[in-house]
Amino acid sequence: MAVLSAWRVARVTPLGELHTPPRMTAALLRLTVQIVLVASLWRGLYHATGTTAGLDRDQAVTYAVLAVLASRVRELDQYSGRDTVLQHMHFGTIVYWYLRPLPPQRYYALRALGEQVYGFAWALAGYAVCLAAGVVRPPGSAAVAGVFALSLLLGQLVMYYVMLVIDQLCFWTLRNGAAIMILIFAQNLLSGVYAPLWFFPDWFITLSAFLPFQATLSVPLSLYVGRIPLSDAGFQLAVQAGWVVVLALFTRLLWRRAARRVISQGG
Amino acid sequence: MSLNALRIIWRVTRLNFRAQLEYRSEFLMMIAIGAIWQVSVIVFATVLLSRFTGMGGWDSSDVLLIPATRMLAHALFVLFLGRMHGVGRHIQEGRIDTYLVRPMPVHRQVQLEFFPTNAIGDMTVAVGLMVGALSRSQLDWTAGRITYLIACLIGGMLLEAAMFTVVASASLRFPAADYWSRWLEELLGTFGSYPLNVLPRAVGGFLTFGLPLAFVAYFPAAVLTGHGDSTGVPYWLAAASPLLGALAYLGARLLWRWSLGHYTGVNG
């Protein structure tokens, strides 16, 4: 029964997407064009350059294309579904999250799980096409593939908790539009979506080492392309796991505090 | 536009600004967001410039003029015409229907929906980058060049506004079309800051004639820095970028008016 209700909650957003074919067509077109543009850009940049920042042309193209695919994992139009924390706080409907037989934290986690699995299916299909077309290189070995998969999973968990913290911010600030935008930019910049972190100055790499963003994308992709050798993978995975634990505890605390701030019908 | 209309615009803008101050943390973060967005573009451009010197046969000080022009044009767009971005939400929430019965043009009401606090951050960083780019530039900044640069900034602003107005017009018919505006912003940020001749000819052609991104900053910077003959389009076309921006905006406004005339709300 619990599994059935979990399934029903998790499939809400994917079902919403599947019932809007124009949005899916647009997503497909956008993903295709973005991959072509990004691959062309990095090939063009490497035209007169050999290896730079420890990355050769194929590694850089693979990294950039995988970053585009990975950014697809949680890129759904949640606002249209009218089920964001921001909207519930604005309209006062957040109180229903606390009146249902399902705890709000579990509801939020199940919705996010559904979204991430749906986005992952897109990313996986895109990866298969890119691999077949020779746009991206396959992983160096089975061990690299395994470590990459584990690192990607941990990265998605970190991503989930970071998004959750931003949503929980609404309980105190009522609005989180700016915080979400800051998060998206920070995430894109500090996780290496715009450009692999290896191209950035040393101070920038050091700074991002103290933040959770590089654990979301830069680490798994660097492991995949071989920029982080397998011998260093243990440490990187431990850092990612550390972020998962810290953020899980922090968000748990915030859920507890947030519940005290929800007022129903004026008191 | 009459003097009375200008007075109303000024009053509404002042009220909107005060309304933004209601949520202080959000207000400060919105300023930060503008700055962070622009800084992220700068960092990206700087990283590429330092790692791939001589990009597209351009000197790095010349290349810097591209992101500076684009970002300042973008900041002007955000400040004056940026509410076209995201107009799909007004349509989805039925607010456009209310606008239609008020005694003010719908386009103006959309622009006066809220004060773009993030434009403060956008503008600060963009002006800073432009000052930096001009101080590093080896060019002789004559009155003619400066006038052309100003025209290019206005043209860039209008061209960006035209692209978002086209998407907004499509949203009047298909509200989900608003999805494209986010992608458009992303494309402008990612591919608008360096010489497009590093890209394959077909891709460069798409970003010139499919999505006229090249006319926002790349062509104007090429003309200013003497690379106007190597852009892949006739020199006169590259030089006419500001004019094309104005024409594109005019066309987009006509399209908006036509789309609004054919708009049917949820009640038919």
Kindly report, residue by residue over A9-34, the tens digit of the pLDDT.
888 878 887 887 767 787 888 888 88
Looking at every residue in chain A, the average pLDDT score rounds to: 85
Distance to chain B for A36, nearest Cα, Å: 8
Q: Rounded distance, CA A254 to CA A258, Å?
A: 6
Say what the pLDDT of residue A132 is: 96
Q: How confident is the model at residue A81 (pLDDT cuts 50, 70, 90)?
A: low
pLDDT > 90? residue A128: yes
Check A178 against B26: CB less than 8 A apart.
yes
Give the C-alpha separation, A150 to A215, whole Å: 12
> How far is it, in rounded angstroms, from Cα A45 to Cα A60?
10
Chain B residues near residue A178 by CB distance under 8 angstroms: 26, 29-30, 32-33, 118
CB A64 within 8 A of CB A196: yes
Closest by CA to B149, choosing from B225, B244, B79, is: B225
pLDDT in tens, A227-240: 999 999 999 999 99
Task: Determine the pLDDT at residue A168.
Answer: 86
Residue B238 has pLDDT above 90, yes or no: yes
Local confidence band at A267 (pLDDT 50, 70, 90 cut-offs): very low
For the segment B100-128, the average pLDDT, to the nearest whole number, is 88
ipTM rounded to 2 decimals: 0.71
Determine whether A3 is exposed, middle or buried from the number of CB atoms within 10 Å of its CB (0-12, 13-18, 19+). exposed
- From chain A, the residues in CB contact with B36 under 8 A are 182, 185-186
Distance, CA of B268 to CA of B264 (rounded, Å)? 5
Q: What's the pLDDT band for A264 if we cut at 50, 70, 90?
A: low
CA distances from A13 to A6, A21, A69, A73, B39 (A): 13, 14, 19, 13, 33
Least confident of B27-31, B46-50, B119-123, B218-222: B46-50
Nearest to A31 by CA among A4, A70, A1, A60: A70
At residue B182 the predicted structure's pLDDT band, cuts being 50, 70 and 90, is confident
Check: CB of residue B114 under 8 Å from CB of residue B19.
yes
Average pLDDT over every residue of A234-263? 92
Contacts of B51 in chain A (CB under 8 A): 45, 49, 52-53, 199
> Which range among A146-150, B75-79, B229-233 shows the weakest confidence by mean pLDDT?
B229-233
CB-based contact, B249 to chain A, within 8 Å: no
Select the more confidently predicted residue: B70 or A179. Answer: B70
**What is the value of pTM for the model shown?**
0.80
The pLDDT > 90 percentage for chain B reads 40
CA A101 to chain B, closest CA, distance in angstroms equals 30
Nearest to B70, CA basis, from B181, B160, B204, B203: B160
Q: Between B26, B183, B199, which is nearest A41 by CB?
A: B199
**Burial profile B35-72: b = 16 or more Cβ within 10 angstroms, e = fewer:** bbbbbbbbbbbbbbbebbeebbebebbbbbbbbbbbbb
**pLDDT at residue B148 is higher than 90:** yes
Average pLDDT for B93-100: 86
Which residues of chain B have a CB within 8 Å of the CB of A43? 200
Supply the Cα-derived Rg of chain B in whole angstroms.
19
Contact at CB, A22 and B176, closer than 8 angstroms = yes
More confident residue, B265 or B16: B16
Residues A146-179: pLDDT tens digits?
A: 999 999 999 999 989 988 888 888 888 766 667 7
Answer whether B209 touches A (CB < 8 Å).
no
Q: Check if the beta carbon of residue A193 is closer than 8 Å to that of residue A71.
A: yes
pLDDT value at position B132?
85
| Residues in Cβ contact with A33 at an 8 Å cutoff, skipping those fewer than 6 apart | none
Contact A45 B52 (CB under 8 A): yes
Write down the pLDDT at residue B221: 94
Give the residue-averaged pLDDT of A208-217: 88
Q: Is A170 exposed, middle or buried (0-12, 13-18, 19+ CB in 10 A)?
A: buried
| Residue A52, strand partner residues | A55
pLDDT tens digits for A33-71? 889 888 988 888 887 777 887 888 899 999 999 998 987
Best A40, A59, A76, A188 residue to mutate vs chain B (most B CBs within 10 Å): A40
Phi and psi, residue A163, nearest 5°? -60, -40
State the alpha helices, DSSP H only, in B174-217: 179-191, 201-205
% of chain A exceeding 70 in pLDDT: 93
Cβ A214 vs Cβ A208: under 8 Å: yes
Q: What is the residue-averaged pLDDT of chain B?
A: 87
What sign does the dihedral B149-B108-B262-B265 (CA atoms) show? positive
